[in-house]
Amino acid sequence: MVRHAAPRLLRYAILAAVTLLLVACSGLGAPPPAPTAAPETPTPPPTVPVETPLPEPRCAVGRLTVGDIASVAVEWSAGVQGALERAREWRGDARLVGLQVGCQPLESAFRWEGTFYSDTAQAFFASDTRQTTPAEVDPAAVPNLPLERIDFGELHRALARAGYGDRSLLSPTSGLTVRLNAPTDPFGPPGTPADVVYHVAIDERGETRDLFVSAANWTIHSYQDRG
């Protein structure tokens, strides 16, 4: 009995070893690892659009404000060109001697009224209304308005330095006027430098202040300050 049991046990041992070897090679010896859940991606919060306030249109209140002068600085060349074309239809020798800027009625647009003088016609011409006014003056005493000296941007900054904010209102009747202050044709209080001078009448706190701003040094002059 013992002699026959030994070979049988040997066969069982060999069979068990072969079985273990096959299991190891096939990868069935251990269960597959459990799948790992992917981390959740956080949902970003909704984007809130940032609204940039639109710039206030020119002449938004129906009359010029100090803030409108910044837009005048951008558009004045085209405005003067249109006024010059109308003046040259009147007289070929018409020359610009003054400029007034206001607001178009019921429109968000500027009104450009150039004052021109014709030596041959001995008369002034308003480009906006096309009205002519005879003038018995020496043509040499009527100075041209030097366009190369005009700078509305500096005018805007000069008023800001003096404490006039962009919402300060200009008089609707006079608007913004530009002329040359010359000995033969004064424009401004005594002591105003001889150069291009800007006039604005600003309504503030129930009072109207007439201001003359000289392009010579960007100083402000007023008859009211003279007592």
| Single-letter amino acid, residue 6 | A
Q: Give residue for tokens 């299991």.
A: 23
| pLDDT tens digits, one per residue of 109-167 | 999 999 999 999 999 999 999 999 999 999 999 999 999 999 999 999 999 999 999 99
Q: What pLDDT score does 106 carry? A: 86
Decide: residue 77, CB within 10 A, 0-12 exposed, 13-18 middle, 19+ buried.
exposed
**Cα–Cα distance for residue pair 30/14, rounded to 1 Å:** 22
The domain segmentation of the chain, as residue ranges, is 68-226
Q: What pLDDT score does 53 carry? A: 46
| Single-letter amino acid, residue 166 | D
- pTM comes to 0.75
**Cα–Cα distance for residue pair 194/185, rounded to 1 Å:** 10
| pLDDT tens digits, one per residue of 29-84 | 455 555 565 556 666 666 555 444 445 788 999 999 999 999 999 999 999 999 99
**Mean pLDDT score, 182-202:** 97
Banded model confidence at residue 204, pLDDT cuts 50, 70, 90: confident
